[in-house]
Each structure stands twice: as C-alpha cells, then as structure tokens.
C-alpha cells in the first residue's frame, strides 16, 4: 500500500492544533482515504504551549508524531520533515484547514495512481470555490502574473498550503531550495517545473482564516527577493533531467 506523510507545519498554534488535528485524523482514518498515512506536526520554534499540546495529541492519537525544529519558517519545517520521511509520498497542509479536506484524496491519487510527480491545490483555477478578501485575491493573482512574466511558470497557484509529491522527487529538489519561509513553495514548484516533472493542479474549496499569521507586506517583499534570486542564480541548471525522473508511485 502507498504510504503518505502528512506534514502540518506550525508556529504558535496552541488553539488550532487541538481543534483541527483530530478532524484531520478522523478524515484520514475514514474509507474515503485509501492509503497508509502518518501525521507529522512540525513545530518550527513555537514559543507558546504548542509543544505541550502537540505532544499530547501524539500520545492520544495513533499515527500522529511530533517533530520539534529550533528554527522558525515553513520552508525549514517542510525541508526537515520531508527530508527524514520514509513514506512514498510527502505532503503538507496548513493547520487551520482553510483548504477543504475533500480535495486531499484527489491530491494524493494524482501522485499515487495517475502518474504525476507533484500535485498542488489551486484556488485560482476553474472549479475552485474560494471565500477570501478582495485584497488577498488581488495579491494572489498579481503574484502569479509576476511569476508568469518573470519565470514563465505554468502552474496557477504557488502559495496554497496544500501540496504532495513523490519522496524521491523531494529528495532531488530539496537540496536545491534555499528559502526557509513562505517563498519555499514557489521555489520548489519552479524547480520542479524546470526539471520537467508533471504537476497536477487540483481545484479546491478554500476559506480564508481570519486569524491568519501571514504578514502580507513582509511576505510580498520576501517573495520579490526570492524571484530575483532565482532569476540571478538559476538553480535549475543543476538539474539533469534526462533519465532521472522517478517512475510513478505504485
């Protein structure tokens, strides 16, 4: 049976963890998700009661593990958790469950059964159902226009916190990623696309979390610096595509 690691990166999430991890656990335990799974709570340097809450969840719920990382940033949390994984497929989602879990089986199926190397949730493609502020919708679409104009990408949503990829693909791409924060997702997808990996795009239902910890202006500045770095360094040149793509997971 195909195995899946579901990484939930967290920073100071003592409120959302006890509310949403049981929901995720129940969903993965149901017949709608026909794969072996493990939930990894990747705590990147939380300073509130997150460590205690996460450890209690790991003790009370089978298949839940707690991983402490002494550095803040979603990128470093995912690099660490995915880098130590032995699952066939590595994935992640945000702890607020803004992305409806109903799309998760399709996300994994695309990688496990349909020949894709990566699968991403998208809020900006036809079929997506999104409830969010006009400001954030504008920023997301503007960001994608910048990515398409500068890096000529073809994927439709870089920053939706809902992604899965073959572990073998992750092992090849992670050493080339540098960002430890929010730009990590974009960097990973750009590298994957330039390497010729097949990326499935799954339209999702998404509801904006009013308590989101994303600081918009600093994040925009970080993203623009990240785009400039990729244009300057061109890390995809280190990827030798021919004969190196892992086969589809079976």
Separation between Cα atoms, residue 51 and residue 64, nearest integer Å: 13
- Is 90 or 134 the better-scoring residue by pLDDT? 90
145-166: pLDDT as tens digits: 999 999 999 999 999 999 999 9
Could you tell me if 186 and 226 are in contact, meaning their C-beta atoms sit under 8 angstroms apart? Answer: yes
Q: What is the pLDDT of residue 125?
A: 87
- The pLDDT of residue 69 is above 90: yes
Q: What is the pLDDT of residue 214?
A: 59
Q: What is the pLDDT of residue 59?
A: 98
Closest CA to 90 of 23, 154, 25, 40: 40
Could you tell me if 212 and 95 are in contact, meaning their C-beta atoms sit under 8 angstroms apart? Answer: no
Q: What is the pLDDT of residue 99?
A: 96
> What is the average pLDDT score of the chain?
92
Give the relative orientation of helices 134-150 and 216-233 as an angle to the nearest 10 degrees: 10
Rg over alpha carbons for the chain, rounded to the nearest Å, is 17
Tokens of 191: 């590298």
- The pLDDT of residue 243 is above 50: no
163-182: pLDDT as tens digits: 999 999 999 999 999 999 99
Confidence category of residue 132, pLDDT binned at 50, 70, 90: confident
Q: What is the mean pLDDT of residues 114-128?
A: 94
pTM summary value: 0.92
DSSP E strands: which ranges in 79-123? 89-93, 118-122
Could you tell me if 37 and 6 are in contact, meaning their C-beta atoms sit under 8 angstroms apart? Answer: yes
Tokens of 204: 């999702």
Confidence category of residue 240, pLDDT binned at 50, 70, 90: low
208-227: pLDDT as tens digits: 876 655 566 778 888 999 99
Going from the C-alpha of 230 to that of each of 135, 145, 223, 236, 239, the distances in angstroms are: 26, 16, 11, 9, 14
Could you tell me if 41 and 67 are in contact, meaning their C-beta atoms sit under 8 angstroms apart? Answer: yes
Fold held by 3-237? Spore Coat Polysaccharide Biosynthesis Protein SpsA; Chain A (3.90.550)
Separation between Cα atoms, residue 123 and residue 135, nearest integer Å: 15
DSSP E strands: which ranges in 11-133? 36-44, 64-69, 89-93, 118-122, 129-131
């Amino acid at each position: 049976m195909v195995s899946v690691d579901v990484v939930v990166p967290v920073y100071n999430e003592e409120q959302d963890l006890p509310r949403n991890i049981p929901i995720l656990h129940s969903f993965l335990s149901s017949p709608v998700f026909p794969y072996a799974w493990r939930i990894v709570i990747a705590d990147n340097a939380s300073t509130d009661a997150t460590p205690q809450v996460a450890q209690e969840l790991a003790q009370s719920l089978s298949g839940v593990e707690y991983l402490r990382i002494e550095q803040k940033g979603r990128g470093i949390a995912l690099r660490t958790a995915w880098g130590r994984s032995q699952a066939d497929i590595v994935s992640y989602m945000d702890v607020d469950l803004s992305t409806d879990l109903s799309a998760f089986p399709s996300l994994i199926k695309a990688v496990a059964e349909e020949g894709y190397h990566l699968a991403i949730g998208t809020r900006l493609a036809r079929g997506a159902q999104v409830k969010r502020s006009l400001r954030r919708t504008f920023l997301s679409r503007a960001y994608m226009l910048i990515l398409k104009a500068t890096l000529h990408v073809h994927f439709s949503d870089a920053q939706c916190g809902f992604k899965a990829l073959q572990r073998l693909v992750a092992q090849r791409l992670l050493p080339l990623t540098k960002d430890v924060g929010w730009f990590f997702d974009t960097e990973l997808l750009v590298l994957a696309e330039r390497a010729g990996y097949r990326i499935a795009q799954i339209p999702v239902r998404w509801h904006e979390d009013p308590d989101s910890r994303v600081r918009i202006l600093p994040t925009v500045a970080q993203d623009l610096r990240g785009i400039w770095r990729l244009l300057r360094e061109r890390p995809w040149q280190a990827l030798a595509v021919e004969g190196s793509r892992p086969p589809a997971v079976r």
